[in-house]
Structure 1
Amino acid sequence: MPNSEKSESLHHKHHHGHGHGTHGHGTRGHGHHVFHLHGTRHSHSHHGHSHGSTHKGRLAQHTMHTLEVARFDVAVLALYFNKAEARDKFCRAIQYFCKFINNGQPGIAYDIEKSSSLARKAFRIFKFVNDLYAFLTPPPERVSILMIILGKVKNLTQGTFLFLDQFSWAAKTGLYKDKKRAEQIGKISLYSWFVSCVANTIMECAAFWKQYNQISHLPSMRSIDKFEIRRLELAYRDKMITLIKAFMDLTVGVGLLKLKPKIITPRVMGVLGFLSSLISCYKLIPKVEEAKKKTPIYRIEAYESPQ
Structure 2
Amino acid sequence: MPNSEKSESLHHKHHHGHGHGTHGHGTRGHGHHVFHLHGTRHSHSHHGHSHGSTHKGRLAQHTMHTLEVARFDVAVLALYFNKAEARDKFCRAIQYFCKFINNGQPGIAYDIEKSSSLARKAFRIFKFVNDLYAFLTPPPERVSILMIILGKVKNLTQGTFLFLDQFSWAAKTGLYKDKKRAEQIGKISLYSWFVSCVANTIMECAAFWKQYNQISHLPSMRSIDKFEVRHTLPIQKEHRKKLKKIRRLELAYRDKMITLIKAFMDLTVGVGLLKLKPKIITPRVMGVLGFLSSLISCYKLIPKVEEAKKKTPIYRIEAYESPQ
TM-score by length of 2: 0.76
Instruction: Please report how far the alpha carbon of residue 295 of structure 1 lies from its aligned counterpart in structure 2 after TM superposition.
Output: 1.4
Deviations for 1:22-75, whole angstroms, at most 9, x for unmatched residues?
Answer: 999999999999999999999999322322221111111111001111111111
3-state SS of paired residue (2:46)? helix
**Which protein shows a greater Rg?**
1
CA 1:158–1:33 in 2, change beyond 3 Å: closer, same or farther?
Answer: closer
CA 1:222–1:174 in 2, change beyond 3 Å: closer, same or farther?
Answer: closer
3-state SS of paired residue (1:38)? coil
CA 1:228–1:87 in 2, change beyond 3 Å: closer, same or farther?
Answer: farther
CA 1:137–1:3 in 2, change beyond 3 Å: closer, same or farther?
Answer: closer
What is the aligned length? 307
CA 1:50–1:184 in 2, change beyond 3 Å: closer, same or farther?
Answer: same
CA 1:301–1:284 in 2, change beyond 3 Å: closer, same or farther?
Answer: farther
For 2:27 and 2:311, locate their aligned partners in 1 and report how far apart those are by CA, in whole Å.
70
For 2:124 and 2:34, locate their aligned partners in 1 and report how far apart those are by CA, in whole Å.
86
Deviations for 1:69-93, whole angstroms, at most 9, x for unmatched residues?
Answer: 1111111110110000000000000
CA 1:147–1:9 in 2, change beyond 3 Å: closer, same or farther?
Answer: closer
3-state SS of paired residue (1:17)? helix
8 A contact 2:201–2:267 mirrored in 1: yes
Instruction: Please report how far the alpha carbon of residue 103 of structure 1 lies from its aligned counterpart in structure 2 after TM superposition.
Output: 0.4
Which 10-residue stretch deviates more, 99-108 or 18-27?
18-27
3-state SS of paired residue (2:170)? helix
CA 1:210–1:53 in 2, change beyond 3 Å: closer, same or farther?
Answer: same
Deviations for 1:274-302, whole angstroms, at most 9, x for unmatched residues?
Answer: 00000000000011111111112667899
Specify the alignment match of 1:207 in structure 2: 207
8 A contact 1:100–1:270 mirrored in 2: yes
Instruction: Please report how far the alpha carbon of residue 13 of structure 1 lies from its aligned counterpart in structure 2 after TM superposition.
Output: 48
Which 10-residue stretch deviates more, 33-42 or 203-212?
33-42
CA 1:272–1:36 in 2, change beyond 3 Å: closer, same or farther?
Answer: closer
For 1:145 and 1:223, locate their aligned partners in 2 and report how far apart those are by CA, in whole Å.
37
Specify the alignment match of 1:236 in structure 2: 253
Percent identity reads 100
TM-score by length of 1: 0.80
Deviations for 1:195-214, whole angstroms, at most 9, x for unmatched residues?
Answer: 00000000000000000000
Structure 2: segments with no counterpart, 5+ residues: 231-247
3-state SS of paired residue (2:140)? coil
> Aligned-pair RMSD on alpha carbons?
14.1
Which 10-residue stretch deviates more, 236-245 or 37-46?
37-46
- Please list every run of at least 4 consecutive aligned residues from structure 1 whose deviation after the TM superposition is greater than 4 angstroms: 1-45, 220-230, 297-307
Which 10-residue stretch deviates more, 173-182 or 216-225?
216-225
Which 10-residue stretch deviates more, 225-234 or 148-157?
225-234
For 1:67 and 1:37, locate their aligned partners in 2 and report how far apart those are by CA, in whole Å.
14
